[in-house]
Amino acid sequence: MIVRSLPEDEITKIIVEHACKDWIKISRTDIIIVGAGPSGMTAARYLAKKGFEVVLFERRLSFGGGIGGGGMLFHKVVLGEPADQILREVGCKLTPVGNGIYVADAAEMLAKLASGAIDAGAKVILGVSVDDVIFRENPLRVEGVSIQWSAVQIAGLHVDPMFVRSRAVIDATGHDAEVVTVASKKIPDVSITLMGEKSAYSELSEQLVVEKTGKVIEGLYVAGMAVAAVYGLPRMGPIFGSMLLSGRRVAEIVEKDLRER
């Protein structure tokens, strides 16, 4: 067997050339999603399936956000109907445990949500953190994000970020709602008050997170646990139905808004 290879400089050239081609496309896109947790990956899949250009930035070098840890590192997650439909669409196996509730394997769920988003056409960039937004006035709106290599942030180096423009930004960053938080502090005259997530009340929170998913200000949307942080909703622990349904709902809302514009 002959294993084909090539000189080191050729490897470098291929990587840089192809990455730069991608980045030129990424610099202006339809939709930016921040965070590759369950809500972000679900939103990415539905929006890419609808034909939008979707870029998903994830701070870590891995997918899944809180999925991989299951419940206290037990490798299972629980979810209720109708969120099971979303996992069935990506081929994730589910075990019914009664009353419309299912259990899924954490590793399988995160792998299939990720490949579902990528197969639908979403571009996922790992190791990049969003640290700010781009805004415009008259009318006030968010028009993209500021990005930095997570490694630069971790090293504490003083390196200017770069910017990516988009028609919509979805904050799917989880418990800290990082994008809405920075927008609330740094866009002049914006009136967003983050209420902060409350203690656990799973059944109530599963319902409310989906209901409150949507637009925060023009151009900026919130999904997943970030919804609880913005609107002061209770946490729910390792039950994931609302995360998936929130991802699907934000995709429907963004699609409608972009088609009407």
Query: Which residues of the chain form contacts with ligand 48F (CB under 6 A)?
Result: 34-40, 57-60, 65-67, 129-130, 172-174, 178, 224-226, 236, 238-240, 243
Q: How far is the CB of 157 from ligand 48F (least distance, A)?
A: 17
Looking at beta carbons only, is 13 or 76 nearer to ligand 48F? 76
Contact indicator for 41, 116 with CB cutoff of 8 Å? yes
Looking at beta carbons only, is 59 or 248 nearer to ligand 48F? 59
Looking at beta carbons only, is 217 or 228 nearer to ligand 48F? 228
Looking at beta carbons only, is 13 or 234 nearer to ligand 48F? 234
Q: How far is the CB of 67 from ligand 48F (least distance, A)?
A: 6
Q: Map tokens 């939709």 to a residue.
A: 31
| Cross-strand pairs, 135 | 142
Q: How far is the CB of 9 from ligand 48F (least distance, A)?
A: 32
Q: Is 239 helix (H, G, I), strand (E, B) or coil?
A: strand
Contact indicator for 62, 197 with CB cutoff of 8 Å? no
Q: Are strands 54-58 and 101-105 parallel, antiparallel or unpaired?
A: unpaired
Q: Is 154 helix (H, G, I), strand (E, B) or coil?
A: helix
Contact indicator for 133, 168 with CB cutoff of 8 Å? no
Contact indicator for 68, 106 with CB cutoff of 8 Å? yes
Q: How far is the CB of 246 from ligand 48F (least distance, A)?
A: 7
